Amino acid sequence: MTESTGPGATGLYHEIHGSADAPPLILSSGLGGSASYWAPNIPALAERFRVIAYDHRGTGRSDRALPESTSVEAMSKDVLALMDALEIETAAFIGHALGGAVGIEAAIRSGRIGALVVVNGWRTLSPHTRRCFAARLALLRSAGARAFLEAQPLFLFPPDWIADHDAELTAELDHHLAAFPGAATVEKRLAAVQAYQPDPAGLAALETLLVIATWDDFLVPHAAALDLAAPVPHARVATFEWGGHACNVTDPERFNRTVLEFLRSQ
């Protein structure tokens, strides 16, 4: 079963895949905020779970209006409101980078997130990642949205994968440009992700966490991603030798297998 639902009362576009009787699993993407980011993973995950993928507020098909500023805390409240609207008391959660921070904050705030998977996230933002964000922001301000999107694959994917998929990436550019949420929204979301630091006590209290870290991630250094697991007593870690920041896209078979093994064990 696949169901797509407009923004509705929550303001969040979301898709539901899989059996209505299966346990719920929420997918939250990174800076781009789009449910479509998870396309390589949804079919495998939906065999075992009722998968809910959503567009973050301000992006995609969700409500595009953002307040003067936004925060990871506000994004976590959106997730909890969506759970309320779907009558979901607790759910497993997979978050990529910014989406991982959203999952962490929702878990700390509510206790309603069960098994949590964070993909190439962090506890403390690396100076290297701040430099990457600053470079992307400068490009957006000086050269515009097309240049910003043309450079985006450099931060997401390994060089060999980009070379092998150059035609696809070029063909997708106009689609991404049409869906671009606007410079102001991107700036607000970048500010939010850079300002966030999880509460240390709340992080240490998490019961089930899988941290996935990729050696060749250009955006988030491997050590920074691994550091997220350090204060969580029962955290598990999976290191991918290859795959870049978006390892769930570049190596979906390994990603899906790793995540499903973890979720089945909970």
Confidence at residue 264, expressed as pLDDT on a 0 to 100 scale: 96
Confidence at residue 7, expressed as pLDDT on a 0 to 100 scale: 80
Q: Is the pTM of this model over 0.85?
A: yes
Nearest to 75 by CA among 96, 38, 103, 51: 103
Q: pLDDT of 197-219, one tens digit each?
A: 999 999 999 999 999 999 999 99
* Bridge partners, 17 (sequence order): 2, 51
Q: For the structural domain made of 2-264, what CATH number should be given?
A: 3.40.50.1820
CA 154 to CA 149: how far, in whole Å? 10
* Pair 192, 71: CB distance under 8 Å: yes
CA distances from 211 to 11, 110, 123, 255 (A): 29, 20, 11, 12
| 224, pLDDT greater than 80 | yes
* Pair 16, 5: CB distance under 8 Å: yes
Amino acid at 199: D
Q: How confident is the model at residue 4 (pLDDT cuts 50, 70, 90)?
A: low
